[in-house]
Each structure stands twice: as C-alpha cells, then as structure tokens.
Amino acid sequence: MHQHVTITTTTGDHSVAEQIAADLVDRRLVACAQIGGPIRSVYRWEGTVEFTEEIVLHLKTTAEQVDAVKQVIAKLHPYDVPEVIVTPIIDGSAEYLKWIDDQTRPA
C-alpha cells in the first residue's frame, strides 16, 4: 500500500480551482479534488496585510504523485507563490485508501 497524502492549495477564482481539479483528476494524479469556500484569508504580501476571499482545494493522492501535482499547480495557478501544503494521511478506511491507489495509477 502507498503512503497517502492530502495536498491543499487556494486560489482567488472558482474557475481556476475547477480547472486545476479537473486537470489533476483527468491525469490520474489525484483521486479526488474537493473544492470549498469561499474562505477568508489574511496574510502579509509585499509588506501589506491583505484580506482576500479564496477558494480552497483539498487533493487526495499518493506520496509518489506529489512532485507531479506540484508541477501542474505551478503551471496552472495564477499566483506568484501558490500555497501547496502536503499533509500525510496517517489512517483511513482501507477501502478508501485502496480507491485512492486505484485512481492514481495509470489507466
């Protein structure tokens, strides 16, 4: 069994979130992309505190796919520095984790 992860990213545009999600699922790089929001993000950018409405994506995949997922996000994401946070899934239902494996292997 593979090591499973959730990758989180945010974007300011719902259509960009859907494009990233669809591309990653279509390429079998992630098994599932959950799109949520809007959320309110507060952060410092270029010396100014910013308040931004964003859309959040939670991407379920395997550790082996992380680098490829990061490349796709970098290519499709409009931000200069897109959020990409990888969190290990330490446990889950065996059936769901197997489903992630099945969905992220080449067709």
Q: What is the dihedral of CA 26, 9, 66, 85, to 10 degrees?
A: -160
Phi, psi of 2 (to 5 degrees): -80, 160
Is 1's pLDDT higher than 80? no
Long-range residue pairs from 74-77, CB within 8 A, at least 24 positions apart, any chain: 76/16, 76/19, 76/20, 76/23, 77/9, 77/11, 77/16, 77/20
pLDDT tens, residue by residue, 2-42? 899 999 999 999 999 999 999 999 999 999 999 999 999 99
Domains in the chain, ordered, with CATH?
Answer: 4-103 (3.30.70.120)
What's the pLDDT score for residue 106? 86
Structure confidence by residue, pLDDT tens digits, 62-102: 999 999 999 999 999 999 999 999 999 999 999 999 999 99
pTM for the whole thing?
Answer: 0.95
Q: Tell me which residue has tokens 């897109």.
A: 82
Q: What pLDDT is attached to residue 94?
A: 96
pLDDT digits (tens, 9 = 90+) for 33-68: 999 999 999 999 999 999 999 999 999 999 999 999
